[in-house]
Every structure is written in structure tokens, then in C-alpha cells.
């Protein structure tokens, strides 16, 4: 294992940025390209936020130190690390050839009550509940927070814990989950709807449960398979990850024995950059990605007429027509391998610039169209049918405007719209964007975007 304790100056700068908070009000100023294709160069994809957050919950399954690398230095990661420290996990940072790395040790005295303020700010904090319950026999937590993108009930987690033998109590906004004497036991759990986080949470809980657990109708996202593969390397017995049925045979605590989990590339970030390139790039190369993870996006872009070159870990957009010559298409979001809900807002921005009419059907979250008024203020022709469907007509010229980033993914869509638009745009509440995209303005500057971050006095 080659992990050095040295931290580079760029990592120190990024780490400093992680310590910001919603109270630190910052905004972006973007001078748009006015529909011109001017962006060029190379932009690298960071480690996947949704994969990193889940592996950071895994130290409770280990009897030794867990090493992870290629961790994105973003707000959500810092929040989860603060929770881990409050629970008694030792956390130290390092640098490696694969970017920012962490050593996580849960061999000391552990707490099983998630800190209320921190957990309420981070939806992903719920992934900790499964490993903590399996390790300590009890977990207490408030209803998790996160982006305001619609109702996100946790019944699927609570029902799963009950089937594993735990008792569930709720009082004064707190959930108190207690394993039976002797620990959790295996069970067959069928999800009514596939859930990535529930799949990972219950899979990790089952790793330390007694006997065999079968999870049916589970999510298929590649981050789940990456997590299961690494846990298996460390002694877990998980079969079927990446399919609709996962079987887990319970084991004692796992041992990393110096193995390092390398966070897979962020497919949502790769897809967002690809959409930006399709709209505004003269020649944009996206590196450090896994093209097979964004095939649903590549397919619809090629259907529209975008020329996408797929390489080994790379994507390239080069010598494309003006967006007005592209054809519109309908989109229906779906669990992986369907079109991802996290790319719905960026693809709507794309559809405002191409010719034709499109119906966009958001099937996952009913609050995920909250950004639409921001695009309409810029000149987009978007008709809201109901909380799940919009009709987008294009092409329409976008004009610079003052915008408010409503959530993580929609914030980047507003950023793409501002880059495409004519004139200057101001995007407030950039904290939501920082939650998921590391040093986004620095990377965009590198490909020709005129963007500045301003900290309010």
C-alpha cells in the first residue's frame, strides 16, 4: 500500500473550502458565450460522490483500518466525516497517486447516536445506520436531511431493519433501532421500489448479520457493485451485486489488511460535462470517466445528432454543429441503467437549445423540477404539466440573469445555462453546487469558461 501522509497545496486549498457552510454566502458570476462554441481542452472527472459517501460508512464493518482513495473533496464528504468523528471513528487524510485519500479506523470506543444537526443536513447520513446497527446492536438518528427534491421516506430502511430482527421506535423526531439479543439475523427482503442507498445500507448491515440475507428488486447502480466487490476482497460473502437480487452470508468483522478502495469515477459529473460540451465546446475531452456508466446519456445525445467519441476512460465532443441543428427527444428518468434523475436538469437545459418539442417525465422525485422557473426567466420555453412532467420547446436564446441554485444537480444545470446564455449571469447559493462538485469553477476556467466566485462581505 503506497499512501503518503503528505498533503499537497491544492488539497489544502480544497480542504479549506470544505469547511465552508451555508452561512458563508457565495455566488458565481458567469459571462455567457451567447451560443458560441468556444470551450476547449481537457476536464477531469473526480471520484463519485455517491460511491465515496457509502464506503465512508463501511469502517464499522472492519476490525482494522480502512483505506480509501480518489475521494472528491466536496461539502457532503466533509459533513459525513464530521459525523464519523463524532461517532468515535478516527479519520486521517493523505495524498496518493489517485487523489485525496483517507484512513478510517473504527476500532476504538464507538457511539451509536448520530449528531442531530449534522445528520439533518445530510441525507446520505442514513447509510451509517445499517453498519452501526450491525456493529453495536443499536442506532439512534433523526430523520435525515438533504436536497429539497421531494418526499424521501425512510420506510424502506425501517422495514428492512425489522425483517433483520430489529425493533423500531420513533419519538420526538428520533428513530431508535435495536437489534435482538445475539445480533441481526438473515432474512429475505423485497424492495417495493429499487433504492440505491437502501440497497447499500441493508447490504452492509447483512454483512455482519447471522445467516443468509436475500435482497430482492434492488438497485443496479455501478456504485453498489464497486462497494460489494471491495467488501468481498476483505472477507464479505456477497453475491449478485449488479443484478436485481443480492445474497449475503453473514461473517465476523472484515479485515482490510492494507487493501485500498479506489472510488470509481462520478458518472453524473461525467454526464454533466458531456452535456456542457455538446452545447458549447469546440473540442472538449473528458478524462478519468467510465463511458459505459453514461450510455443512456450518450445514446440520446447521439440520437439528437451530437458526435460523441468514446475512448478508454475518456469522452470527447468535437466539431459538432450548432445546437439548433440538433433534434429534440423525449426523456423519462429511470433507475440505472435508465436515464438518471441526477442528469434530468442538465438535459432539460440542453433541450432548450435544440430544435423541436420534448416531453420530460421525472419519475423518481416530484420536487426535481423546481429549477424550471430559473430557466424560464432566462428565456427558456418550458411548460410545466404537473410536478413530474414538463414540455420543452426549442431552440430559444437564453439571456444572462440572476439565479438561485435550488439544489445540487439543478445548480449545475443553472451553471450550464449561464455558460450558454448571452450576457452575464449571477448564481446565488453556490453552496448547493459545492456539495457535489469539487472546485468546479477552477475546472471550468481551465476549459475557457469565464467564471468568478465571489464571497459576500
Q: How far is CA 339 from each of CA 307, 344, 357, rounded to the nearest angstrom? A: 19, 8, 18
Q: What is the CATH number of domain 14-45+265-455?
A: 3.65.10.10
| pLDDT computed for residue 89 by the predictor | 98
Q: Do domains 14-45+265-455 and 49-259 have the same CATH topology?
A: yes
Q: Please provide the average confidence, as pLDDT, over all residues in the chain.
A: 92
The per-residue pLDDT for range 12-45, each reduced to its tens digit, is 333 333 444 555 689 999 999 999 999 999 999 9
pLDDT band at residue 365, thresholds of 50, 70 and 90? confident
Distance of alpha carbon 197 from alpha carbon 349, whole angstroms: 27
Q: Are strands 245-249 and 212-216 parallel, antiparallel or unpaired?
A: antiparallel
Q: How far is CA 165 from each of CA 112, 177, 210, rounded to the nearest angstrom? A: 18, 10, 11
May I ask the CATH class of domain 49-259? alpha beta
- Whether this prediction's pTM lies above 0.75 is answered by yes
The per-residue pLDDT for range 242-258, each reduced to its tens digit, is 999 999 999 999 999 99
The per-residue pLDDT for range 376-416, each reduced to its tens digit, is 999 999 999 999 999 999 999 999 999 999 888 899 999 99
List, by residue number, the catalytic residues: 147
Task: Give the residue extent of every domain in the chain.
Answer: 14-45+265-455, 49-259
Amino acid at each position: 500500500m503506497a499512501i503518503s501522509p503528505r498533503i499537497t497545496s491544492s488539497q489544502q486549498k480544497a480542504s479549506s473550502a470544505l469547511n465552508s457552510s451555508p452561512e458563508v454566502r457565495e455566488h458565481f458570476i458567469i459571462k455567457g458565450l451567447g451560443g458560441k462554441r468556444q470551450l476547449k481542452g481537457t476536464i477531469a472527472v473526480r471520484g463519485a460522490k455517491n460511491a465515496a459517501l457509502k464506503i465512508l460508512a463501511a469502517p464499522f464493518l472492519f476490525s482494522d483500518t480502512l483505506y480509501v482513495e480518489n475521494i472528491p473533496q466536496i461539502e457532503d464528504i466533509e459533513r459525513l466525516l464530521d459525523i464519523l468523528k463524532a461517532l468515535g471513528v478516527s479519520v486521517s487524510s493523505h495524498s496518493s497517486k489517485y487523489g485525496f485519500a483517507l484512513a478510517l479506523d473504527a476500532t476504538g470506543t464507538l457511539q451509536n447516536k448520530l449528531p442531530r444537526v449534522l445528520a439533518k443536513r445530510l441525507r446520505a447520513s442514513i447509510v451509517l445506520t445499517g453498519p452501526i446497527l450491525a456493529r453495536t446492536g443499536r442506532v439512534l438518528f433523526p430523520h435525515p436531511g438533504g436536497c429539497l427534491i421531494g418526499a424521501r421516506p425512510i420506510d424502506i430502511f425501517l422495514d428492512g431493519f425489522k425483517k433483520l430482527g430489529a425493533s423500531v421506535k420513533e419519538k420526538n423526531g428520533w428513530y431508535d433501532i435495536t437489534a435482538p439479543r445475539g445480533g441481526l439475523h438473515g432474512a429475505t427482503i423485497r424492495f417495493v421500489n429499487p433504492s440505491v442507498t437502501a440497497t447499500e445500507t441493508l447490504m452492509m448491515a447483512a454483512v455482519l448479520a447471522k445467516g443468509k440475507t436475500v435482497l430482492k428488486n434492488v438497485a443496479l447502480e455501478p456504485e453498489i457493485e464497486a462497494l460489494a466487490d471491495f467488501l468481498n476482497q476483505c472477507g464479505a460473502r456477497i453475491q449478485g451485486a449488479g443484478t436485481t437480487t443480492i445474497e449475503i452470508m453473514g461473517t465476523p468483522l472484515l479485515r482490510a489488511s492494507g487493501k485500498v478502495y479506489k472510488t470509481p469515477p462520478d458518472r453524473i459529473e461525467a454526464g454533466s460535462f458531456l452535456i456542457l460540451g455538446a452545447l458549447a465546446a469546440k473540442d472538449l475531452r473528458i478524462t478519468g470517466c467510465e463511458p459505459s456508466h453514461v450510455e443512456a446519456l450518450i445514446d440520446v445525445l447521439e440520437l439528437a445528432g451530437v458526435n460523441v467519441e468514446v475512448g478508454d476512460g475518456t469522452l470527447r465532443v468535437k466539431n459538432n454543429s450548432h445546437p439548433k441543428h440538433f433534434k429534440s427527444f423525449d426523456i423519462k428518468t429511470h433507475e440505472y441503467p435508465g436515464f438518471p434523475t441526477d442528469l434530468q436538469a442538465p438535459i432539460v437545459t440542453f433541450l432548450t437549445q435544440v430544435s423541436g418539442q420534448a416531453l420530460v417525465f421525472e419519475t423518481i422525485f416530484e420536487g426535481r423540477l423546481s429549477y424550471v422557473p430559473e430557466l424560464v426567466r432566462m428565456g427558456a420555453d418550458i411548460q410545466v404539466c404537473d410536478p413530474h412532467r414538463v414540455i420543452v420547446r426549442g431552440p430559444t436564446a437564453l439571456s444572462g440573469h440572476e439565479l438561485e441554485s435550488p439544489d445540487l444537480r439543478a445548480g449545475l444545470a443553472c451553471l450550464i445555462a449561464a455558460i450558454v446564455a448571452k450576457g452575464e449571469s449571477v448564481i446565488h447559493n453556490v453552496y448547493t453546487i459545492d456539495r457535489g462538485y469539487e472546485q468546479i469553477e477552477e475546472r471550468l476556467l481551465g476549459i475557457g469558461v469565464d467564471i468568478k466566485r465571489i464571497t459576500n462581505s
